[in-house]
A and B are shown apart, each in its own frame.
With several copies, the nearest count.
Chain A
């Protein structure tokens, strides 16, 4: 049993699970990932139906509801915020189950089956799920289909869109507003010039491959602040692993090159 569990768990981001641990014992950490693999209550129900090989046209409501509730309880225990849509479904399942307990008319017309609506939704969702997979697998532009895009020398007859500095800062403001992890991040002038120098140094090393450390500084024409910024940029590039800085032995020249360049 444990073996099937781990097999199933290993495939979490890929296809639907092939094995469900019958006893539902899953290490708590794994459970979270496991439940995350479901796209919602319908997905979970479909999974249970498939797993237990239940007949979708004649769903044993008691069984299904019980199994479903076990999962929902687990979810409630660890991920309360997830439970909203799932709880709604629990209510629906219980309602269907109780309606089925009511005395039936002698002749059951199919539309009267309290399960009909649920079955219709499950079938529709499964059909969508399958075509979504197909769409995902289809080769598409940017992922498997490569379209011609050779170059030609544009003569600028068409005016490209005009963009003001204001538009740009406005865009940046939007980004900041959305990216919550940027909340405390300040981008000041000092940091910007370091970032600019980082790009400049990379560009230079791309064309000249290897430079002696001192060549990166124009001591004659750059003022002290600029030299410092340049030095900070080199440190930052080294920290991000973008540069390789080498020295054969103490006091010999220090060489700087792009990391990964032969």
Chain B
């Protein structure tokens, strides 16, 4: 018995997934949506149809390096900029600590970060770091759930005026004096 009876329903699942995802979805990601096996060719065809369904609408389905995403058509940018999502002038302590852990311990999973900080990682924190293009996903750890591995980006090094991570201040001094 098929859980998704028809093409319309399959496309709907893809549409929902793409509209609610914080980051582009790869073909592999999208294949995981369905309990049943799907050919990559079928998936590509569905995505193509979905793109056409939205051809006259507000968002467009585009393909970028790491996968597919819906994005606002350019003509709406002027409006959206007015929204001015009042970015806070400072990152929270959670954001900075998470960034520090990723910088010093990469590649790490969300679980690793939680273990080190002792608190759950707020999805918003990861989003802020990814939006700023300081952190991205470099792979999955091969354990149940295949958690994403996060690492800092080149852009992070640029913004902090570093040529490589080796230029980050070493921590020996702190640890010894501190505890």
Contact = CB atoms under 8 A, between A and B. Distances in A.
A and B touch in the complex (CB under 8 A): yes
Contacts of B175: 176, 182-186
A172 B20 contact: no
Nearest to A178: B118
Contact of B132 (A39, A147, A160, A170): A160
A88 to B, nearest CB: 8
Interface in A114-156: 121-136, 138-155
Interface centre among B104, B105, B123, B152 (most CB of A within 10 A): B104
Given A130-B172, A140-B161, 14 more contacts: A39-B97, A40-B119, A123-B173, A127-B174, A131-B100, A138-B169, A142-B123, A144-B81, A147-B69, A147-B72, A161-B88, A161-B89, A171-B97, A242-B107
B71 A151 contact: yes
Given A128-B101, A174-B93, A198 B117 contact: no
Contacts of B93: 39, 132, 171, 174
Interface stretch (B3-11, B41-49, B141-149): B141-149
Interface of B: 16, 18-22, 59, 65, 69-72, 74, 76-77, 80-81, 84-91, 93-94, 96-97, 99-101, 103-107, 115-120, 123, 132, 138-143, 146, 149, 151-152, 158-162, 164-166, 168-179
Interface string A245-262: 000000000000011100
Interface stretch (A2-10, A22-30, A199-207): A199-207
B49 to A, nearest CB: 18
Contact of B146 (A124, A134, A260): A260
Nearest to A51: B179
A198 B107 contact: yes
Contact of A199 (B80, B106, B174): B106
A150 B69 contact: yes
A173 interface: yes
B93 to A, nearest CB: 6
Contacts of B74: 139, 153
A183 B20 contact: no
A167 interface: yes
A172 B115 CA distance: 15
Contact of B149 (A50, A196, A202): A202
Interface centre among A161, A188, A240, A241 (most CB of B within 10 A): A161
A158 interface: yes
Chain B, interface SS category: mixed
B27 to A, nearest CB: 11
A152 B18 CA distance: 11
A125 B116 contact: yes
Contacts of A260: 140, 142, 146
B118 A152 contact: no
B66 to A, nearest CB: 8
A179 to B, nearest CB: 5
A106 to B, nearest CB: 29
A192 B172 contact: no
B168 A131 contact: yes
A50 B77 contact: no
Interface in A168-220: 168-179, 182-190, 192-193, 195-196, 198-199, 202-203, 205-207
The 8 closest A-B pairs by CB, nearest first: A199-B151, A40-B119, A171-B96, A172-B100, A152-B72, A148-B70, A132-B100, A196-B165
Contacts of B140: 260
Contacts of B19: 148-150
Interface centre among A84, A151, A160, A173 (most CB of B within 10 A): A151
A132 B170 CA distance: 11
Interface centre among A126, A144, A150, A177 (most CB of B within 10 A): A150
A55 interface: yes
Interface string A90-127: 00000000000000000000000000000001111111
Contact of A187 (B85, B99, B104, B177): B104
B141 A242 contact: yes
B166 A192 contact: yes
A183 B175 CA distance: 7
A20 to B, nearest CB: 12
